Structure formats: C-alpha cells, structure tokens
Amino acid sequence: MDVSSPTLALLRLTLVDGLGPATIGKLVSLAGSADAALELSPAQLSMCKIGAQRAAKMAADIRDSRGPAENEIALADKHGVRLVSVADDSYPALLKAVPDPPPILYYKGDLRAADRFALAIVGSRRCTAYGLEQTTRFAGTLARAGITIVSGGARGIDTAAHRAALMSDGRTLAVLGCGLAHVYPPENAELFEKIAGSGTSGAVISELPMDTAPDRQNFPRRNRIISALSLGVLVIEAGKGSGALITAEQAAEEHGREVFALPGRVDSPASEGSNELLKSGGAGLVTEPADVIAALESPARHLADGTHAARYQMPAQPAPAFKLAPEQHQILEALETDRSADELVELTGLPASSIRSHLTLLEISKRVQRVGSRFARRNSPTPPAVPTSPTSPTSQNA
C-alpha cells in the first residue's frame, strides 16, 4: 500500500504513546506540516504544554516511529485495510470539519463523496422486537432514498441498521471500537465482510491502530466518529444510561448535528432513555422515515452549498440557492413525465446509486416529489425557510 508523505508522518505521530488528535493537531500547526512535526525538538514540544521530561521521551519516540509505522502499514495490507489521513482529499469532509478529527482513519471497503449525506442510527444492544422492526423500516427506507446509514457495528440496533441498508442495496458505514485486525462482535464477521467486500456497499472504519483489542474505553471515541460522519443521529431504542444517548449528546453539543428519537412504549425499560430524550427536548420526535428526510433538508442544503460550518450563525442575508449538479439537470430533463428510479437509470445512463443520491437531494430542494413508487418534477421549487436566530442543535435547526 502506497501512502503519501503527510499520511505516513501522521501515522507515525498517532503511534507515539501520549499523542492524541488534539496534541497532534497542535504539533502540526506549530511545525507547519506533519513532516516537519517529526523534527520538533524537546524544547519545541514543550511549547505545546508538554513537560520537559515527557517532551524529551516523546521526541525520541517520534524519531523511532518509522519502524512501527511500516509494520502497521504491512499489517493493514495483510488484512486488506487502507489508510486515509486528514491531509488527504478523500478524508470524510464532515469528520474533517469537527474539532480534533482523528489524524488517521483505517478502512476496509470504499469511502465515497456521497457518504457525506449520511444518517447515524443508534440504539441498545439489548433491543426489543419493536426496536428491530423500526430499525429495519427506517434504515431500509432511508438507504433506498440514497442516504448512507452509519452505525457502530454492535449487536442489536446497530446490526439491524447495517443489515437493512445492505438488503435495500444502499450504503452503510460501520465504525468499530477496535482495530481492524480484530472482529467485534465476532458473530458480525460475515456482516462486516458484506459491507466491505462488495466494493460498493460501504466501509468498515476505525481510528484505532490495527491490533487494538475491543475495549469499553474505546467506545466513546467510536461514538464521536459515528456522530461526526453524519448529518444527524436517530436514536431508535435506548435504555437509561445507554451509549446511544452519549452519541446523541455528542451530536448535538459537540458537532451541531440534528438529533431524532423514535418514541417507544412508556412501560418499556428498553425505551426509557430515548423517551426521556424526547421529553427533555434533546431530540426531535419522528415516526416516519419521511420525517427524517424533511428535517435533514436544511443541513443537506448547507452541505451542498458549502456553508455547513456556518449553519448556526446569524444569517446576514438569505441562504444561497441550491445549486444543481449536471446529473441533477439530466434527471429533471428526464422527468417530463412521472418515472420510476429504474426508468431514470435507463434514460440517463447514470448508476442506480447515483440516481438515488441525486433524487434525494432533488427532493430536499423541493424540485422533485414522490408519487407512489415514481418521481415527478415540481413546477416551482419552494426554498427552505431560513431561521432568524440560532437555536439549540435539535431537529428544528437550520
């Protein structure tokens, strides 16, 4: 596997004990580049609030990191895993935009630009039949609409979300709390292979070095990536104290993402956490997949227009109009009459996955509407409303 010089330098830094994403970011900023950060002296390292003794050891460890980095690349090669760094154009754009993103991502499968239109679906490992049924309904419908489904690969709701996306010929990203030389949970080995093996279904992802064993302390870091990769987070079913609630909190408070929750039985412990999230106003209530698509309209528009980072700022003027891609012009021209997605594939020559993604964006921008299983062109798109003041990051945000 060939890696760029900046990616190799960032990999070397991540393998040094005591260097996390925040400190690595400071070192790169101080030095001017990842390669230059490898040459920082102990005195320069101390400028990043690193004690003198620790800085001397860290400088020595950085100098000695080439061998471990080469071994890490060889192990990744052995398992069919690739590396992407924040210095690469192919690094997920939404993840790159959050504070202190992981300098290195390991992934098996493929990452695509279309994955920026993603929804995280999270919930309890010990879920009920209701939770599994609703996860399958929401994940399957949204995946068919061209939205990438992101989850944590765990038992229960996560597994159901990934499987529903695959069954709907959609894309899904599984973010693991271990290195990709391990499979956890072990019973999901076949599922992860289906996600990564086809080359079109998505990717299995981790920020952790290849041989990092599964551990509970890794899950908060994994959950942070799940939130950051997505435009919003949907909590299907979560008990009190569930890790899914932590993901929802990170999504709202750290990343400014939309947060949704599905109401559950009021007497079910499995839904106690998600119901409380709704009662407290920490999530928008959804009962249909269409509710999610409607609520993601504004963040998707900002993402398409390149204004995602400014979503919560006071707008001085109306938001720019949704710009059409050439493929979207093709689709609109083909919709002189109502057509199915299959007919649009045949008429335009575009791949089915591309058709689904662009149809979703055209629905969001009010240029296309669904008529049963077919799509129709709207005569005059209605631009989404722009808020006059910032709000807390729930499903009511712009």
- Name the residue among 102, 114, 303, 315 with its Cα closest to residue 203: 114
Q: What is the pLDDT of residue 306?
A: 58
Are the C-beta atoms of residues 170 and 148 closer than 8 Å to each other?
Answer: yes
CATH 3.20.20.140 fits 110-298, yes or no: no
d(CA 207, CA 76): 13
| Secondary structure class of 35 (helix, strand, coil) | helix
Are the C-beta atoms of residues 108 and 201 closer than 8 Å to each other?
Answer: no
Strand partners, 374: 371
Q: What is the pLDDT of residue 228?
A: 93
Query: Given the structure tokens 């002296």, which residue do they identify?
Result: 41
pTM of the model: 0.76
d(CA 341, CA 336): 14
Regions of the chain where pLDDT drops below 70:
199, 298-323, 364-365, 379-398
How many other C-beta atoms lie within 10 A of the C-beta of residue 126?
A: 14
Please list, residue by residue across 248-272, b when 16 or more beta carbons sit within 10 angstroms of its beta carbon and e when fewer do: bbbbbeebbbbbbbbbbeeeeebbb
DSSP state of 322: P
What's the N-to-C CA distance of the chain in angstroms?
42
Classify domain 326-377 at the CATH topology level: Arc Repressor Mutant, subunit A (1.10.10)
Q: What is the pLDDT of residue 374?
A: 85
Q: What is the pLDDT of residue 151?
A: 97
Are the C-beta atoms of residues 95 and 225 closer than 8 Å to each other?
Answer: yes
